[in-house]
């Protein structure tokens, strides 16, 4: 298996270029999936307080036998805990559930613009990073105006913005903003989450040309665009297949073909209106 390369975040810290998504696994499922994934070579594990599986993820990390220092753990601040002091308390709850002394990447899960407390939470997260309780800080589902406000009001640029991203919703405009600020794009639902993306004739044709699966083609598309995909996979077979995306390369023509395989549309919640509490 080709080793998983890393990206360097804008704070100088490395992050693996593919990770394991765990939503909507429960504690038992995530413990098994995480332990197996780490044994197979994954080093980036994504969870969130809202997923309800941080305890299982933590158990999986401990059960894997992989040294803690080699694992990048991502979790997220839930909407119900937005606010300066609330963020510190929520962080400690997540840290205890995960059973770790620090969190590698801590994200604000949703901006919740109606609540209008995400800047307060961001200020708390910058303090958590300064104190060493968090290695890197970032956001999830933030739109350009949310990112610009954080930078304008605090001077601190998020290391990561985790967004819905796949060929049906490539988010090229938002990715361009990420490039402008030096923010790493991280993608959930990278395979389109049951929308028929993997059956698209253009993607199937590219997969056949390389002797790989359609899922591997789509994950390679992410990798070559510079994003970090977070495919959810509970079976060791699928986990191994996802790691094999570093063993082939797509041409520019194939990348464009994948990008236009289906009409573009969001399949998840809209950050302008979604209120996750």
Secondary structure string (H, E, C) spanning 10-75: CCCCEEECCCEECCCCCHHHHHHHHHHHHHHCCCEEECCHHHCCHHHHHHHHHHHCCCHHHCEEEE
> Catalytic site residue 118?
no
DSSP character string of 120-170? HHHHHHHHHHHTTSEEEEEEES--HHHHHHHHHHH----SEEEEE-BTTB-
Residue 75 and residue 125: Cα distance in Å, rounded?
13
In a domain, 5, yes or no: no
In a domain, 29, yes or no: yes
Domain count, the chain: 1
Residue 128 domain boundaries? 14-195
Residue 203 and residue 206: Cα distance in Å, rounded?
5
Cβ(115)–Cβ(82) below 8 Å: yes
Cβ(29)–Cβ(36) below 8 Å: no
Residue 31 and residue 37: Cα distance in Å, rounded?
10
The pLDDT, as a whole number, for residue 263 is 75
Q: What are phi and psi of 264, to 5 degrees?
A: -85, 130
Residues 119-130 have pLDDT tens digits of 999 999 999 999
Cα 83 from chain centre: 23
Which residues does 151 contact at the CB level (< 8 Å), separation at least 6?
157, 181
Which residues does 84 contact at the CB level (< 8 Å), separation at least 6?
120, 121, 123, 124
Cα 23 from chain centre: 11
In a domain, 207, yes or no: no
Q: Which two tokens stand for residue 121?
A: 């939470």
In a domain, 23, yes or no: yes
In a domain, 69, yes or no: yes
CATH number at residue 87: 3.20.20.100
Which one from 42, 51, 118, 188 is the annotated catalytic residue?
Answer: 51
In a domain, 271, yes or no: no
Residues of the chain with pLDDT under 50: none
In a domain, 222, yes or no: no
In a domain, 204, yes or no: no
The pLDDT, as a whole number, for residue 1 is 66
Q: Indicate the length of the chain as a whole number.
A: 277
């Amino acid at each position: 298996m080709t080793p998983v390369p890393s990206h360097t975040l804008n704070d100088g810290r490395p992050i693996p270029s593919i990770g394991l998504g765990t939503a909507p696994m429960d504690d038992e499922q995530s413990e098994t999936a995480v332990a197996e994934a780490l044994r197979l070579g994954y080093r980036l594990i994504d969870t969130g307080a809202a997923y309800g599986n941080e305890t299982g993820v933590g158990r999986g990390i401990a059960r894997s036998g992989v040294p803690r220092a080699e694992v990048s753990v991502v979790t997220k601040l839930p909407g119900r805990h937005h606010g300066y002091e609330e963020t510190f308390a929520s962080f400690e709850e997540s840290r205890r559930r995960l059973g770790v002394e620090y969190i590698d990447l801590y994200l604000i899960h949703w901006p919740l613009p109606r609540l209008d407390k995400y800047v307060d939470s961001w200020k708390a997260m910058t303090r958590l990073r300064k104190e060493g309780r968090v290695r890197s800080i970032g956001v999830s589902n933030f739109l350009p105006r949310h990112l610009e406000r954080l930078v304008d009001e605090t001077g601190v640029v998020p290391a990561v913005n985790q967004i819905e991203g796949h060929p049906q919703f490539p988010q090229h405009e938002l990715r361009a903003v990420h490039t402008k600020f030096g923010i790493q794009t991280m993608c959930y639902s990278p395979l389109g989450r049951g929308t028929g993306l993997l059956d698209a004739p253009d993607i199937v044709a590219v997969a056949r040309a390389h002797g790989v699966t359609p899922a591997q083609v789509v994950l390679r598309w992410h990798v070559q665009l510079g994003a970090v995909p977070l495919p959810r996979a509970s079976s060791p077979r699928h986990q191994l297949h996802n790691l094999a995306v570093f063993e082939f390369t797509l041409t520019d023509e194939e990348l464009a073909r994948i990008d236009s395989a289906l009409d573009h549309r969001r399949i998840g919640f809209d950050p302008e209106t979604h209120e996750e509490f």
